[in-house]
């Protein structure tokens, strides 16, 4: 009774929400402990479902983070390319600036040459004017002076010719200076034109560089946005992982409680049965039709070393749990038919075979004497009987050492 009270307290502490939703799926042959265990099993299943769902959320958020990281990485690669373009454009700009600078130097040289030529022309002109005036003054002072000063006609002619030659010289000199000045002017214009073209190119390249820099700024902002999304997703991931750890801890607690309930149920029935604590599994009949140990197989496929005792009984007779414990197997096999295995703790289990019906499921906690199945003839069987076996630490032992 104390153990039963303990289980009720345990169930009240551990379960809460699940109780409302639980509906008994089986017959009422089982004790309260079974219902409590069923609640625990339901809670275990709910927790496992929650864990699956959280793991799926973690997978989703991890995929999202991976996608964002990929996009970020692509952008970083693109920015590296853009940086390369900026470097190349900067080199072009530097080159053009150098060219413009050297063009300016050439223009300065040409300007100086032009100024020099202009000054020379001006000097030449002044000298020419002086000479022309002299010639005219000579002329104005009349031909007489030329005649008087001339020692001979030849001399006079020479003087006159010289004056004429000087005038021709001045005229030629003026032509030459004008030509030189025009050449320098043209060269200077060419240089100015080249400089203008280079400056236009410089503007163009600087515009390109500015455009690439704008693109880099935009992509850098996109990266920042990705980074921010990655941080948000990482936060979600941490939150899910925290939830996962909590649910896994809860699951472990529930599993411990299930084990504790099974152990409590097993010990709760100690002393209720025979001297060994085990109860005869078939109250309707004590007729042993086949003993434990070596034998001739009664039907093809049946064991020649009999791993339990056969108790002959009419079909439908109650099969009861020999001791309290937890149902670890409740299924059908071609040889054992419908059969149940109940674990009692301390390495001991009991086996009930060839049943016509099973009243328990895996995970159920049963008390000693609970009806768990009905006698039948399923599997390798020649007629209705209960095959009852006892397993201790994985080996079959003679059940008569446990039940009378």
* Binding region for Zn ion (CB under 5 A): 310, 387
Query: CB–CB of 354/387 below 8 Å?
Result: yes
Identify the CA nearest to 351 among candidates 308, 316, 383, 313. 308
Nearest to Zn ion of 85, 377 (CB atom): 377
Task: List Cα–Cα distances, 119 to 5, 112, 113, 172, 191, in angstroms.
Answer: 128, 10, 10, 17, 22
Closest separation in Å from C-beta 314 to Zn ion = 17
Name the minimum Å distance from CB 8 to Zn ion: 39
- If the CB atoms of residues 41 and 310 are measured against Zn ion, the closer one turns out to be 310
Nearer to Zn ion, 240 or 339 (CB): 339
Burial class (CB in 10 A: 0-12, 13-18, 19+), 63: exposed
| Token pair recorded at residue 122 | 């001006």
Q: Tokens 């199945």 sit at which residue?
A: 373
Collapsing DSSP to helix, strand or coil, 356 comes out as: coil
Q: Are 273 and 376 in contact (CB under 8 A)?
A: no
Report the nearest approach of Zn ion to the CB of residue 311 (Å). Answer: 9
Nearer to Zn ion, 44 or 387 (CB): 387
Cβ atoms 171, 86 nearer than 8 A: no
* Residue 51 beta carbon to Zn ion: minimum distance, rounded to whole angstroms: 42
Q: Which is nearer to Zn ion, 266 or 351 (CB)?
A: 351
The answer to whether residues 399 and 293 touch, using CB atoms and an 8 Å cutoff, is no
The residue sitting closest to Zn ion, measured at its beta carbon, is 387
Give 64 or 295: the residue with its C-beta nearer to Zn ion. Answer: 295
Backbone dihedral angles phi then psi of residue 359, each to the nearest 5 degrees: -110, 5
CA dist., res. 226 & res. 228, Å (int): 5
Q: Smaller CB distance to Zn ion: residue 16 or 299?
A: 299
Nearer to Zn ion, 209 or 387 (CB): 387
Cα 69–chain centre separation = 7
> What are the structure tokens assigned to 385, written together?
């009987």
DSSP-based helix, strand, coil % in the chain, nearest 5 = 65, 15, 25
Encoded tokens for 185: 């002017």
Report, in Å, the least distance between residue 14 CB and Zn ion: 40
Alpha-carbon distance of 257 to 251, in angstroms, equals: 10
Give min distance, CB of 274 to Zn ion, in A: 21
- By C-beta, is 23 or 395 nearer to Zn ion? 395
Round to whole Å and give the CA distance between 374 and 283. 11
> What is the bridge-based pairing of β-strands 357-358 and 371-374?
antiparallel
Residue closer to Zn ion by CB (options 89, 355) is 355
Q: Which of 380, 325, 309, 399 is nearest to 340 (CA)?
A: 325
129-136 long-range contacts, CB within 8 A, separation 24+: 131/166, 131/167, 131/170, 132/167, 132/170, 135/163, 135/166, 135/167
């Amino acid at each position: 009774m104390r153990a039963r009270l303990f289980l009720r307290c345990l169930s009240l502490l551990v379960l809460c929400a699940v109780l409302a939703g639980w509906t008994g799926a089986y017959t009422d042959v089982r004790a309260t402990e079974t219902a409590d265990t069923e609640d625990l099993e339901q809670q275990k299943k709910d927790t496992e479902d929650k864990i699956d769902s959280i793991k799926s959320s973690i997978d989703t958020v991890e995929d999202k983070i991976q996608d964002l990281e990929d996009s970020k990485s692509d952008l970083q690669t693109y920015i590296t390319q853009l940086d390369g373009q900026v470097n190349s454009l900067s080199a072009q700009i530097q080159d053009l600036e150098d060219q413009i600078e050297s063009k300016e130097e050439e223009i300065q040289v040409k300007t100086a040459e032009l100024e020099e030529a202009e000054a020379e022309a001006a000097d030449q002109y002044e000298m020419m004017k002086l000479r022309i005036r002299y010639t005219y003054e000579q002329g104005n002072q009349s031909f007489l002076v030329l005649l008087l000063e001339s020692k001979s006609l030849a001399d006079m002619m020479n003087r006159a010719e010289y004056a004429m030659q000087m005038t021709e010289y001045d005229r030629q000199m003026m032509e030459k200076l004008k030509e030189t000045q025009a050449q320098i002017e043209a060269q200077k214009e060419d240089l100015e034109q080249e400089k203008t073209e280079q400056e236009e190119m410089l503007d163009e390249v600087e515009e390109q560089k500015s455009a690439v820099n704008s693109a880099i700024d935009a992509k850098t902002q996109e990266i920042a946005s990705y980074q921010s999304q990655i941080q948000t997703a990482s936060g979600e991931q941490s939150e899910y992982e925290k939830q996962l750890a909590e649910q896994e801890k809860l699951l472990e607690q529930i599993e411990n409680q299930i084990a504790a309930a099974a152990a409590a149920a097993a010990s709760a029935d100690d002393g209720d049965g025979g001297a060994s604590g085990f109860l005869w599994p078939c109250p309707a009949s004590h007729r042993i039709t086949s003993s434990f140990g070596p034998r001739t197989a009664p039907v093809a496929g049946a064991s020649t070393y009999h791993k339990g005792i056969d108790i002959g009984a009419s079909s439908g007779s109650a099969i009861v749990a020999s001791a309290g414990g937890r149902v670890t197997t409740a299924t059908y096999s071609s040889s054992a038919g419908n059969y149940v295995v109940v674990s009692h703790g301390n390495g001991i289990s009991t086996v009930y075979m060839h049943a016509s019906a099973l009243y328990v499921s895996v995970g159920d906690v049963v008390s000693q004497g609970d009806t768990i199945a009905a006698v039948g003839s399923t599997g390798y069987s020649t007629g209705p009987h209960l095959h009852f076996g006892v397993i201790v630490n994985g080996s079959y032992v003679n059940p008569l050492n446990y039940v009378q």
